[in-house]
């Protein structure tokens, strides 16, 4: 079984932050599930802040 973890997030983070997030998720999956490294897939789906809102207010205005 190949676990695939998809994270939806507002854009604006640095490459380093995103890499740290993916590595952390990878480690959590590796420690929790008995799967080979190459089967663990992590995807980040970034949405521009003006296209994402909370409570009716765009993230770009928060």
Record the tokens describing residue 16, joined without a space: 């380093």
Buried b (16+ CB within 10 A) or exposed e, 24-34: ebeeebeeeee
Residue 16: give the domain boundaries.
4-55
First-residue to last-residue Cα distance in the chain: 40
pLDDT at 48: 96
Residue 47's domain is classified under what CATH number? Answer: 3.30.429.10
Catalytic annotation, pick one of 1, 2, 3, 37 = 3
Query: Is 48 labeled as catalytic in the residue annotation?
Result: no
pTM listed for this prediction: 0.86
Confidence of residue 1 (pLDDT cuts 50, 70, 90): confident
Cβ(25)–Cβ(7) below 8 Å: yes
Domain count, the chain: 1
């Amino acid at each position: 079984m190949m676990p695939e973890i998809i994270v939806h997030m507002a854009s604006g983070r640095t490459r380093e932050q995103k890499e740290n997030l993916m590595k952390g998720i990878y480690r959590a999956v590796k420690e929790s599930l008995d799967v080979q490294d190459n089967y663990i897939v992590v995807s980040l789906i970034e949405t521009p802040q003006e296209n994402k809102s909370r409570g009716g207010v765009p993230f770009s205005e928060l």
